[in-house]
């Protein structure tokens, strides 16, 4: 038996490379190349991209889950390093050449669409968000038009492993409902509008199907369906179904044209085709060799599959070059001869460049990437490793200390936000209308800066237990703990906010019209049930920061992994923080509006990146009073300048101010830390999340009810409503905290105290000295 056949019969549990899958990669890539070059019969070759997505989803999920089973965890930094070594070098080499052409291109070659300038288009190529860039910006954009799929793949590699770590730790009872929820998406696709179907093409269904089938095969390996998928006969049937469906798509495309066929294909064909194709892949991975496997494993096809990444990356500029040669030959030869000649030249150049790239760039880097493969840990090795761990790392629980001065800072942050929505926002609007722009900006941004303080504290409190105390980062448990901590109080606030906005919409008054509140919409309300949402701020203008903070929660495991991997010094962390500040200052004004309204959380996250970076830096190192006061003295003048020049990113200035404030507060010997650890501030700080959640709904409801009872406007109405709102906000906050939030928070010293003035503070529980052990605070 040949070596190839022996490899094909090896168990899928032990393999990381299968030759027949190289053959599938080759067919996918050849289909896309034929589609772009215009080879007859290849108009439907674009489906190769969807096939790539299904293959990537299945393989990445299968390999990561196998790593979890064999090693007990998924090493996310190692995974990302392997992916970076495989994909980034030749991609960035290609983009560097494109950048050179952009820099020497004439301005007339560009058409600005919305806020997309040539600089932002280049940024989308370098940073892998080219799938968001509009078409027809550049006359030479055909050279990069195919990179949207690589951007989507890279986004998948970045986000899916984090979600997978959380998914595979769920109980088995969640498997079937999760898969049914995924299948329901495909079931409704034939009936969705064409605009959504076109957008769904950029949220690849193939990736979703590949991931779902891989999880099912790994988690339900002994089920009847899993055994049925592994059967050789089923694999042959799946291959026949795929071939017949491809024939139908090709005939329909040749008959009606690609523009007329694509909407139908996106809505109907792609969801249906992804399932038999992924079943075929699963059978090749887990099953024994069949005739289909041997056909796909022939050496020429397997070699093309190995270099398929280079073939896909380099082929578009070569298409344009050879088609230019086609035009030059027009006067000398017939059309068929010209086409065959240019096709041969194109294929030869593409194959040669891709082969050289694979031999001299990709393959050496693949060897380096093998060094970052995790190794299974045997029981004996686990005992030795455990014996060598320090006591802090071996502890399953961390000591119950808490920095109460940070509770005081949380109380300050929540108070600033509440004051902003109670009075200073409307006051700033009045001042701006009367021409006092500087004073309006100063008042509004100062009280709204409580958000910046929350962001800085999040960086400190979320990372410090992992980078200081030796707590192991388990992304699944970490994300579950975050959801369990944040969502129950949010659910109560979501109900209150929906009721208040429904009241406003049902009984409109003069205040409703003056406040310019949106109409109540069931869809908008339900869409905000998840903490991260992308719709309009219809129910609470305060909650946008929760969406931004949730994005930070998702990348905390990445930060922890990078810190452990790179072990940066204090100077390196300061340099990274300074670069983040500089980038936020220089880029924010140019970035505004580029991603559109549905991507505003990402845009806001970039705007506030310096605040999160400050928290990450303080999570690893203590900076002390000198650094703290220096940052404050730099941040305050910057804020003053930003008040007069709104295009400057004022959030950078407040980030510096609060970096200094937190740095001084963490010094347990400072006067500030003792003031912040006082009883009322700690009591309010432990309830700051509930206060932040409910205050805007109370403001809306009280203003509406008072306006129903009186037609009086002016300062009297303002005083009456605020006099009612302040105690009601505190009362609702105490109820939400007492009956909901405290049941999910940890390490609270005022949890059993409903009122702030009726308990004796146990001074022995006050900790303001820096401690090597810090539990995860209720941030």
In tens, the pLDDT along 326-376 reads 555 555 556 677 778 888 888 999 999 999 999 999 999 998 888 888 776
pLDDT on residue 453: 92
Can you list the positions of beta strands (E) in 125-170?
none
Dihedrals φ, ψ of 116, to 5°? -85, 105
Hey, is 574 helix, strand or coil? helix
- CA distances for 773 relative to 180, 614, 667, 770, angstroms: 43, 20, 15, 9
> In the numeric block, which tokens belong to residue 323?
């088609």
Hey, is 116 helix, strand or coil? strand
- CA distances for 399 relative to 396, 471, 746, 771, 776, angstroms: 10, 11, 12, 10, 10
- CA distances for 179 relative to 182, 183, 185, 238, angstroms: 5, 6, 10, 20
pLDDT averaged over 10-residue windows placed end to end, the chain, 779 residues? 40 65 93 89 87 93 89 86 92 90 74 74 85 76 86 90 76 57 52 45 74 80 75 88 90 76 72 88 86 89 94 90 64 67 88 94 90 67 38 34 79 92 85 84 89 91 83 82 87 86 79 66 74 61 81 84 75 72 58 55 80 87 85 88 80 89 87 84 89 89 82 74 89 90 81 63 42 34
pLDDT on residue 562: 77
pLDDT on residue 472: 82
Question: What is the spatial distance between Cα 202 and Cα 556, in angstroms, rounded to a whole number?
Answer: 26
What percent helix, strand, coil does the chain show, rounded to 5?
Answer: 75, 0, 25
Question: What is the spatial distance between Cα 241 and Cα 753, in angstroms, rounded to a whole number?
Answer: 66
pLDDT on residue 764: 38
Cβ atoms 459, 616 nearer than 8 A: yes
pLDDT on residue 474: 82
Which residues neighbour 527 within 8 Å (Cβ) at sequence distance 6 or greater? 533, 535
> In the numeric block, which tokens belong to residue 718?
């303002």
Dihedrals φ, ψ of 481, to 5°? -65, -40
Cα 509 off chain centre by: 41
pLDDT on residue 129: 81
pLDDT on residue 191: 47
């Amino acid at each position: 038996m040949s070596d190839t056949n022996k490899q094909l019969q090896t168990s899928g549990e032990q393999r990381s490379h299968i030759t027949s899958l190289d053959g599938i990669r080759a067919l996918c890539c050849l289909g896309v190349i034929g589609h772009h070059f215009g080879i007859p019969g290849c108009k439907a070759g674009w489906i190769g991209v969807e096939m790539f997505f299904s293959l990537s989803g299945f393989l990445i999920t299968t390999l990561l889950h196998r790593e979890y089973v064999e090693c007990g965890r998924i090493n996310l930094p190692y995974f990302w390093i392997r992916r970076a070594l495989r994909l980034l070098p030749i991609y960035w080499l290609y983009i560097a050449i494109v950048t050179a052409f952009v820099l020497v291109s004439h301005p007339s070659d560009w058409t600005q669409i919305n806020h997309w300038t040539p600089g932002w288009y280049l940024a989308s190529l370098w940073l892998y968000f080219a799938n968001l860039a509009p078409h027809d910006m550049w006359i030479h954009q055909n050279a990069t038009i195919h990179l949207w799929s690589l951007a989507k793949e890279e986004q998948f590699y970045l986000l899916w492993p984090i979600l997978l770590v959380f998914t595979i730790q769920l109980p088995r009872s969640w498997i079937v409902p999760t898969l049914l929820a995924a299948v329901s998406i495909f079931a409704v696709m034939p009936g969705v509008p064409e605009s959504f179907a076109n957008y769904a093409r950029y949220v690849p269904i193939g990736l979703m199907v590949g991931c779902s089938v891989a999880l099912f095969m790994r988690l339900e390996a002994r089920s009847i369906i899993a055994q049925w998928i592994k059967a050789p006969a089923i694999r042959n049937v799946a291959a026949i179904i795929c071939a017949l469906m491809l024939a139908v798509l090709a005939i329909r495309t040749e008959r009606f044209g690609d523009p007329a066929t694509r909407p139908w294909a996106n809505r109907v064909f792609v969801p249906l085709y992804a399932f038999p194709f992924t079943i075929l892949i699963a059978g090749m991975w887990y099953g024994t060799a069949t005739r289909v496997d041997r056909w796909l494993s022939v050496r020429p096809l397997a070699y093309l599959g190995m270099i398929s990444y280079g073939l896909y990356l380099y082929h578009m500029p070569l298409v344009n070059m050879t088609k230019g040669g086609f035009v030059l030959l027009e006067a000398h030869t017939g059309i068929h001869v010209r086409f065959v000649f240019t096709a041969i030249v194109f294929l030869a150049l593409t194959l040669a460049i891709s082969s050289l790239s694979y031999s001299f760039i990709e393959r050496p880097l693949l060897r380096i990437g093998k060094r970052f493969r995790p190794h299974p840990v045997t029981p004996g090795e686990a005992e030795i490793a455990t014996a060598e761990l320090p006591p802090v790392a071996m502890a399953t629980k961390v000591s119950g200390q808490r920095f109460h001065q940070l509770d005081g800072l949380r109380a300050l942050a929540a108070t600033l936000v509440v004051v902003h929505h109670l009075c200073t926002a409307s006051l700033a609007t009045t001042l701006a209308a009367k021409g006092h722009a500087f004073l309006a900006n100063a008042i509004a941004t100062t009280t709204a800066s409580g958000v910046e303080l929350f962001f800085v504290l999040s960086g400190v409190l979320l990372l410090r237990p992992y980078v200081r105390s030796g707590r192991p980062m388990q992304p699944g448990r970490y994300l579950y703990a975050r959801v369990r901590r944040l969502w129950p109080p949010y659910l109560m606030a979501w109900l209150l906010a929906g009721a208040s906005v429904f009241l406003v919409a049902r009984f409109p008054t003069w205040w409703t019209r003056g406040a310019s509140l949106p109409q109540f919409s069931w869809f908008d309300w339900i869409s905000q049930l998840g903490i991260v949402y992308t719709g309009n701020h219809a129910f609470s203008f305060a909650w946008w920061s929760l969406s931004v903070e949730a994005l930070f929660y998702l990348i905390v495991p990445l930060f922890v992994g990078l810190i452990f991997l790179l072990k940066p010094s204090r100077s390196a962390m300061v340099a990274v923080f300074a670069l983040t500040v500089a980038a936020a200052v220089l880029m924010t004004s140019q970035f505004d509006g580029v991603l559109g309204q549905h991507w505003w959380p990402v845009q806001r996250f970039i705007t506030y990146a310096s605040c999160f970076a400050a928290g990450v830096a303080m999570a690893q190192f203590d900076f002390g009073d000198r650094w703290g006061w220096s940052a404050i003295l730099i941040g305050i003048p910057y804020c003053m300048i930003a008040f007069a020049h709104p295009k400057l990113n004022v959030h950078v200035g407040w980030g510096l101010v609060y970096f200094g404030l937190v740095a001084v507060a963490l010094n347990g010997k400072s006067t500030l830390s003792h003031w912040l650890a006082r009883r009322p501030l700690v009591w309010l700080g432990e309830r700051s999340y509930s206060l932040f959640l409910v205050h805007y709904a109370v403001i809306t409801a009280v203003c509406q009810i008072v306006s129903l009872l009186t037609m009086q406007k002016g300062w009297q109405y303002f005083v009456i409503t605020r006099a009612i709102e302040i105690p009601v906000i505190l009362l609702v906050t105490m109820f939400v905290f007492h009956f909901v939030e405290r049941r999910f928070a940890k390490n609270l010293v005022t949890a059993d105290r409903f009122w702030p003035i009726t308990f004796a503070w146990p001074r022995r529980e006050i900790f303001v000295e820096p401690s090597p052990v810090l539990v995860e605070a209720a941030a």
